[in-house]
Amino acid sequence: MLRLKFLKTELKINAPWKEGAPLTTIKKLIGAKTRLVGGTRFVKDCVLDPSQVELLANASLRGLDECKKVVVGWQRQGQSLADIYLNGIAPCARLLGCQWASDELSFVDCHLANAKLQQLLYEFSDEFLSEGNGAKTEGSVLLMTEPGSQHGLGVFMLSEFFKQAGWQVTLAHPQDLRAFSDLLTSDWFDAIGLSISTDRHLELLSQTWPHMRRGVANPEALFFVGGPMAALAPEKLNWPGALVFDLDAQKTVASLMTHLGRFD
């Protein structure tokens, strides 16, 4: 396992930062002269490699502060937050899922580690949004998980990329099919996206989808479906009038804007 070594600076610190400390404080404590040594060398916009993904996975099992150290280290090596989200955090979540599936991790450890990764997205949200070009699409999108889902990392990351592109985003986690259906008719949306993580509700959703789709406020809304099931069994998501995206968050936003030509 690759380990990161921190070169010491002359900065003296009486006590480490506390859990939840501001990112500016963390970066200050790390020190202006701190750099990562050993292991893979990075250049700007270089894709993070598997050893670095494993490093973040191990950090997520130890705590949020450890995760922040890794991400701040990547930033200091020239990685943008978009690169870190797509090539660091997203594959880290997949790695944790594989480790759980192979019994290397318990369900609880996997769930808590993923919660740390999602908290990272919250912590870095303002900084991530500031990396955008400030464009306003004047578009609105509803993003939902499947009813009762406990998997929110991917759809939250997608919401951040939509916000960075200038969209108004409504993010929802309906607990049952009734709440799911109510959300579809709750407002006027240019696009409606559903993240499917399991096959638990697939049969019921496919049966009720045509009826729910007819009830939306905007009859021209573009529907799209993604999430883990889009990669595992895309044929099961072949619902009338819905696009299936097996893409990362950034490419999903770009593809959707291409389909909605008025946002070009």
For residue 20, give both structure tokens.
């939840």
Predicted pLDDT at 12: 36
DSSP secondary structure letters along 20-36 = T--HHHHHHHH-TT--E
Per the domain annotation, does 95 fall within a domain?
A: yes
Q: Is the dihedral of CA 232, 235, 236, 241 positive or negative?
A: positive
For the segment 99-158, what is each residue's pLDDT rounded down to a tens digit?
988 999 999 999 999 999 999 999 999 999 998 877 777 789 999 988 877 778 999 999
Torsion sign, CA atoms 222, 225, 227, 230? negative
Are residues 33 and 144 located together in one domain of the fold? no
Q: Does the structure show a pLDDT above 70 at 245?
A: yes
On whether residue 135 sits in a domain, the answer given is: no
Does residue 254 share a domain with residue 158? yes
Q: pLDDT tens-digit profile of 22-71?
A: 544 444 433 333 334 333 444 444 558 999 999 999 999 999 999 999 99
Q: Where does a domain end: 130, 153, 168?
A: 130
Q: Work out how many domains the chain is built from and give that number.
A: 2
Residue 108 pLDDT:
92
pLDDT of residue 66: 96
159, 118: one domain: no
Domain boundary among 81, 96, 130: 130
Task: Give the least confident one: 73-77, 146-150, 157-161.
Answer: 146-150
Neighbours of 78 (CB within 10 A): 12
> Would strands 5-6 and 140-145 be described as parallel, antiparallel, or unpaired?
unpaired
Q: Are 246 and 154 in contact (CB under 8 A)?
A: no
Range of the domain at 169: 140-263
122 plus 144 within the same structural domain? no
For residues 164 and 134, the model is more confident at: 164
CA dihedral sign, ordered 113, 248, 86, 121? negative
In sign, the C-alpha dihedral spanning 7, 9, 15, 19 is: negative
- Has residue 259 got a pLDDT over 60? yes
175 plus 241 within the same structural domain: yes
> Which pairs from 84-87 meet CB under 8 Å and 24+ separation?
84/48, 85/121, 85/128, 85/157, 85/160, 85/161, 85/249, 86/248, 86/249, 86/250, 87/47, 87/48, 87/53
* Of 17-21, 149-153, 242-246, the least confident: 17-21
Q: By the 8 A CB rule, do 163 and 129 touch?
A: yes
C-alpha torsion 177→191→150→131, nearest 10: -160
Q: What is the CATH number of the domain that holds 238?
A: 3.40.50.280
Asked if 124 and 201 sit in the same domain, the reply is no
Q: Which of 122-136, 156-170, 208-222 has the highest mean pLDDT?
A: 156-170
**What percent of the residues of the chain are helix, what percent strand, and what percent coil, each to the nearest 5?**
50, 10, 40
The pLDDT value given to residue 235:
86
Query: Is there a single domain that holds both residue 97 and residue 211?
Result: no
Inter-residue contact 154 to 227 (CB < 8 Å): yes
| 82 lies in the same domain as 159 | no
- In this structure, is residue 188 part of a structural domain? yes
Choose the final residue of a domain: 130, 163, 189: 130
The pLDDT of residue 46 is 52
Report whether pLDDT(2) > 60. Answer: no
> Within this chain, do residues 118 and 144 fall inside the same structural domain, yes or no?
no
- Are residues 179 and 205 part of one domain? yes
Q: Are residues 162 and 93 in the same domain?
A: no
91 and 14, same structural domain? Answer: yes
Domain assignment present for 113: yes
> How does the average pLDDT of the chain come out, rounded?
80
